[in-house]
Amino acid sequence: MITLAILIFFGLYTWTDIMSVEENEEALVIELYAQQFNWKARYSGEDGVLGDANVRFLQDFDGKNIAGIDSTDPNGFDDVVTTELHLPVGRDIIFKMRSQDVLHSAFMPHFRAQMNCVPGMITEFQFTPITTTYQMRQKPEVVAKVKKINKIRVEKSKNLVANGEEPLEPYVFDYLLLCNKICGASHYNMQMKIIVETPEEFEKWINEQPNFAESIQ
Binding site for another protein (CB under 8 A): 1, 4, 7-8, 11-12, 14-16, 18-20, 35-36, 54-56, 58-59, 68, 97, 100-103, 105, 107, 109-110, 112-116, 118-121, 123, 145, 148-149, 152-153, 168, 171, 173-174, 176, 178-189, 191
Report the C-alpha gap between 123 and 115 in whole angstroms.
7
Least distance in angstroms from the C-beta of 105 to another protein? 6
Nearer to another protein, 16 or 24 (CB): 16
Nearer to another protein, 35 or 132 (CB): 35
Asked if the bond preceding 61 is cis, omega within 30° of 0, the reply is: no
Least distance in angstroms from the C-beta of 43 to another protein? 22
Least distance in angstroms from the C-beta of 180 to another protein? 4
Cα 92 to Cα 11, 25, 128, 158, distances in angstroms: 22, 10, 5, 44
**Cβ neighbours of residue 150 under 8 Å, at least 6 residues apart?**
170, 171
Nearer to another protein, 39 or 202 (CB): 39
Q: What are the counts of helices (DSSP H) followed by strands (DSSP E) for the chain? A: 5, 10
Q: Are 197 and 87 in contact (CB under 8 A)?
A: yes
Least distance in angstroms from the C-beta of 133 to another protein? 13
Alpha helix stretches (DSSP H) within the chain: 2-19, 133-138, 140-162, 199-208, 212-215
Least distance in angstroms from the C-beta of 35 to another protein? 8
